[in-house]
Chains A and B, each alone.
Chain A
Amino acid sequence: MIIGENIHKSFGDLEVLKGVDLHVQPQEVVVLVGVSGSGKSTLLRCFNFLEMINEGSITIDGKKVDPKKDNLTKIRAEVGMVFQHFNLFPHKTVLENVIEAPITVKKMNKEKAKKLGLELLEKVGLSDKADVYPSKLSGGQKQRVAIARSLAMEPKVMLFDEPTSALDPELVGEVLQVMKQLAEEGMTMVVVTHEMKFAKEVADRIIMIDQGTIIESADPENFFGNPQHERTRQFIQLVE
């Protein structure tokens, strides 16, 4: 569904990604882990073309993307992204947040968009909040709206960058629950998270990034039970 090959990305002299290869199969859930600064966010941002790679290639749904020729706007619409800090639009109501892109980008008519928006809010358990502004929501509710907002564009793959890291502990569960449900419905997902319980339960594959390269890639059982790399062992000790 999404294939990264030999991805290199530098910021000035700092090489953050040093040749990352990652094939994500349709309906697969991949959890990315790694210490702070290892390049997890940068990799996700490259997949969504919020950052441009210096070398290598990205293929989405069988189509190799050429950043020079292709319409990146259209490609971004196919790759949903959920951010650590939600980034809801504060000047729009919850429902307006969700239907903004379908109306502006897909030119969906307003009635149809509203219907879709309410369905998605129902799905994340927030239909009663449709008309309030984001400032009135808890962090967990904000993140669920952000997920609904992404889903409204019917993306082929969803990227999550530490979606629960900014939440109070008691609000983490409700967001992970929604993500788990998405995974069960067959959404292709790449998730950066420190929630190891979620990784064990939901991930098809866990990938460890260290200093800009993938050093471990295994199903949860093997990742935790039989890690190959010393750094992975250290990491597992750290989080458990």
Chain B
Amino acid sequence: MFELFGTVFEVFMRTYPGFLEATVVTLQLTAIGVILGTVIGLVFALMKISGSKILQWIANIYITVIRGTPLIVQIMFLYFGIVEIYTMSNFWAGAIALGVHNGAYIAEIFRGAIQGVDPGQREASMSLGMNRKQTMQRIVFPQALRRSIPPLGNQFIITLKDSSLVYIIGVAEIFSLANREAAQSFQPFESFLVVALYYLVLVMIFTYLLRWYENRLDVDKT
């Protein structure tokens, strides 16, 4: 047991400079994946509630396909489908894949949040003479946005972990470093233990930050 601590510590000390760099890459992937996913998600959520059958149909196909296939397949598909055709870095291929993937999940988050707003809010707004657009913009969306913050935070955490799959196309994020370290050092157990700790610490930090932010939001308004 004591021996294991020793070797893990030794691996940790040897690898942390590289890991810190890789952590930055992981966080960049995550941030781009979530931001891009939010933009895509917003567009598809609006399509789903638009009332236009065609737009709903398109959104449904997108969401079904993305949710029905593994992320790793989507990453490979995008990589060979796009990077090969347009010259794009592996990093961006991975980030876009994460964004496209998140888009489907975040679309559902937004749709759920919009539909979760009490119908009485819409009625009160309409009864005051506000039209559909004003009601959506000024009454429904602000409340829906508030409701989507906790699940969006959750999606951020999921993306942080999912970004590890981008190692498959050779992006130098945390997991790919651990993978290489494991192979080179003949200490796979210690290497993956160290990488697990990196993810765990990151997830705990962001979980804490998100909870703090949610609490701050709640103080006055709900």
Binding site for B on A (CB under 8 A): 48, 50, 73-74, 76-81, 83, 85, 87-91, 100-101, 104-105, 133, 135-136, 146, 149-150, 153
Contacts and interface: CB of A to CB of B under 8 A. Distances in A.
Contacts of A133: 220-221
B222 interface: yes
B120 A83 contact: yes
A87 B120 contact: yes
Contacts of B128: 76-77, 100-101, 105, 149-150, 153
Contact of A90 (B125, B127, B138, B221): B221
A24 to B, nearest CB: 17
A149 B125 CA distance: 10
B124 interface: yes
Contacts of B146: 91
B90 interface: no
Nearest to B132: A73
Interface string B111-130: 00000001011011111111
Contacts of A88: 124
B36 to A, nearest CB: 27
A50 B126 contact: yes
Given A87-B118, A91-B146, A104 B130 contact: yes
A91 B221 contact: yes
Contacts, number: 68
Given A50-B123, A83-B124, A104-B138, A90 B222 contact: yes
Contacts of A77: 128-129
Given A90-B221, A153-B129, A105 B134 contact: yes
B143 A90 contact: yes
B127 A73 contact: no
Contact of A74 (B121, B129, B134): B129
Interface string B181-222: 000000000000000000000000000000000000000111
Contacts of B154: none
A135 B129 contact: no
Contacts of B124: 81, 83, 87-89, 146
Given A90-B222, A100-B138, A105 B120 contact: no
A105 B123 contact: no
Nearest to A48: B127
Nearest to B123: A50
Contacts of A149: 128
B134 A91 contact: no
B142 interface: yes
A81 B126 CA distance: 10
B127 A81 contact: yes
B131 interface: yes
Contacts of A136: 220
A153 B139 CA distance: 17
Interface in B138-159: 138-139, 142-143, 146
Contacts of A89: 121, 124-125, 139, 143
Interface string B66-95: 000000000000000000000000000000
A200 to B, nearest CB: 28
Given A104-B138, A133-B220, A135-B221, A87 B123 contact: yes
A91 B143 contact: yes
Given A83-B120, A89-B121, A101 B221 contact: no
- A-B pairs, top 6 by smallest CB distance, nearest first, are A77-B129, A87-B124, A101-B128, A81-B127, A87-B120, A105-B129
Contacts of A76: 126-129
Given A83-B123, A85-B120, A87-B120, A105 B130 contact: yes
A90 B131 CA distance: 19
A80 B142 CA distance: 24
Nearest to B120: A87
Contacts of B139: 89
